[in-house]
Amino acid sequence: MTYERFFSRGADAMRESAIRKMGGVAARVPDLISFAAGYPDPTTFPWDAFREIAAELLTGRDPHALQYGATRGYRPLVEDIGEVLATHGITSTFEERLVTTGSQQGLDLVARLFIDPGDVVLVELPTYTGAISAFRNAQAEMVGVRQEADGVDLAALDETCTRLRAAGRRVKFLYVVPNFQNPTGLLIGLDKRRALLEWSERRDVLLVEDDPYGELYFPDRASRGETRPIKADDTTGRVVYLSSFSKTLAPGFRVAWVVAPAEVIAKFDLAKQAADICAGALDQRVIHQAIHRGVLKNQGERLRAHYQHKRRVMESAVDEQLATQLQSTAPRGGFFLWATLAGQLDAEQVLARALEAKVSFVIGSAFYVDGSGRDTLRLSFSQPSDAELVEGVKRLARAIEMARR
Ligand SMILES: Cc1ncc(COP(=O)(O)O)c(C=O)c1O
């Protein structure tokens, strides 16, 4: 039996993410060093604290720990999130917050709330593949705007929006990852953040700000002040802000949040009721306790030092082995080195050779909604050990040489 005639148009449009696909490939290649997945390093997870907290929660004294809960989220955690936000300059009321099952669900709910088939969503070129999937599933037409060193090119953004509207298209929102963007590692400058907010008001467009990496700035290249969310200066309710505990505590809990005006959050609540009723009760309680016991607070500095070190290891290996083969960005935080191959070599060709050499990465074109970026690649330094970073870069250098022959 074939099922094509049963699938919806939305299901037809679904595509596997390039990153997930690489995960499948990686699982089949023994001894592969992966620069593909942007996973946090599990050695940084506060295992002891989690074990202690989970054991206490599973004594059965609190029956709610394994029960359904409010769609909005576990109240003490929703309150904690308010405090976390305040440290980033965002003031919010309880009614303006909602816990999501990962920020990925936040993006899916954004798509459900704001996109009708054919609506235009503006995205950075390149942009996060998970957002591309969520918006594509809702049958949005994504239009990319090129980026400069300090983020999206404002003149190109305005020109694109104006042109689309003149052609009768509905432009709903601009999706941005201002802090250490996945995949480029770019940090949007503070002036540009203010200009984006002003632009969104002038053009009556919503801003969807996705900020999972804000805590992970590298102290040798960036400061906390430079990561100030756009949402912090949003006085008129233009910005829907998403963030997550995936990169600061652990992604396995799938606990994240969205902040938006109360009227919008009420809609998120309705959409989430249909999606999963509520985020995991146990997960939310573990995160709440981790915050309450100071675990989250201790993570920040530790993680910044840890990933800054990893970045240095990868950057110096790249300088030594690959300086003539590719040009890479100097990220100021986050998990990624973004590289452009010299001589317009095709990254897909390099990937085939790389897998033979037992190293993987994500081809850059997966992050471009316009099919460009064929000579780019994303190298994630977050998970491999120092020795693997060095060895992986050597393998990549061999693979690029082979691909050039
Ligand atoms: C930019 C961006 N947004 C959202 C997510 C999803 O995070 P979560 O684990 O909270 O679903 C990721 C994960 O890598 C990401 O890089």
Residue 21: pLDDT over 80: no
For ligand 1, the distance from its centroid to the CA atom of residue 244, given in whole angstroms, is: 7
Residue 384 has a pLDDT of: 97
CA distance 81 to 98: 9
Residue, of 28 and 291, whose pLDDT is higher: 291
Over 90: is that where the pLDDT of 14 sits? no
Q: How far is the CA of 11 from the centre of ligand 1 (A)?
A: 22
Statement: residue 375 has pLDDT above 90: yes
**Three-class secondary structure of residue 152 per DSSP:** strand
CB 183 within 8 A of CB 336: yes
**Backbone φ and ψ of 189, nearest 5°:** -65, 155
Q: State the distance from the centre of ligand 1 to the C-alpha of 243, rounded, in angstroms.
A: 8
Q: Ligand 1: which residue has its CA nearest to atom 7? A: 103
Residues 111-143 have pLDDT tens digits of 999 999 999 999 999 999 999 999 999 999 999
- Measure the CA–CA gap between 328 and 257, rounded to whole angstroms: 32
Continuous segment of H or E residues that includes residue 216: none
- Identify the residue whose tokens are 């505590």: 249
Task: Please list the residues that pair with 257 across neighbouring strands.
Answer: 99, 243
Q: How far apart are CA 271 and CA 249, in angstroms?
A: 26
Q: Give the three-class secondary structure for 4.
A: coil
Distance of CA 104 from the midpoint of ligand 1 (Å): 6
Confidence category of residue 20, pLDDT binned at 50, 70, 90: low
Q: How far is CA 134 from CA 125, 138, 147, 356, in A?
A: 16, 7, 22, 32
Average pLDDT over the chain reads 96
Band (24; pLDDT cuts 50, 70, 90): confident
Q: How far apart are CA 274 and CA 278, in angstroms?
A: 9
Nearest alpha-carbon partner for 324 in 310, 339, 312 = 339
Q: pTM score, two decimals?
A: 0.96
Q: Distance from the CA of 103 to the center of ligand 1, in angstroms?
A: 6
User: Distance (Å, rounded) from C-alpha 299 to C-alpha 390?
Assistant: 26
20 alpha carbon – ligand 1 mean position (Å): 13
Ligand 1 pocket member 212 (CB < 6 A): yes
- State whether the beta carbon of 103 lies less than 6 angstroms from ligand 1: yes
Q: How confident is the model at residue 17 (pLDDT cuts 50, 70, 90)?
A: confident
Torsion of CA 313, 318, 323, 329, to 10 degrees: -80
CA-CA distance, 250 to 246, in Å (whole number)?
5
Q: Measured from the CB, is residue 100 less than 6 Å from ligand 1?
A: no
State whether the beta carbon of 334 lies less than 6 angstroms from ligand 1: no
> pLDDT tens-digit profile of 274-321?
999 999 999 999 999 999 999 999 999 999 999 999 999 999 999 999
Q: In this structure, what token pair is assigned to residue 136?
A: 């594509």
Distance 38 CA to ligand 1 centre (A): 9
- 341 bridge partner residues: 326
Mutational pocket test of ligand 1: of 182, 211, 367, the residue with most ligand atoms within 8 Å of the beta carbon? 182
pLDDT band of residue 155 (cuts 50, 70, 90) is very high
Residue 275 pLDDT = 96
Residue 264 CB–ligand 1 contact under 6 Å: no
Closest CA to 286 of 321, 322, 248, 255: 255
Task: Establish whether residue 244 lines the binding site of ligand 1, counting it when its CB lies within 6 angstroms of any ligand atom.
Answer: yes
In sequence order, what E strands does 5-72 have?
33-34
* 177 Cβ closer than 6 Å to some ligand 1 atom: yes
CA 230 to centroid of ligand 1, rounded, Å: 18
Q: Which residues contact 95 (CB under 8 A, 6 or more apart)?
A: 262, 265, 266
Per-residue confidence band for 8, with pLDDT thresholds at 50, 70 and 90: confident
Which ligand 1 atom lies nearest to the CA of residue 101? 11
Give the residue carrying structure tokens 């146990």.
282
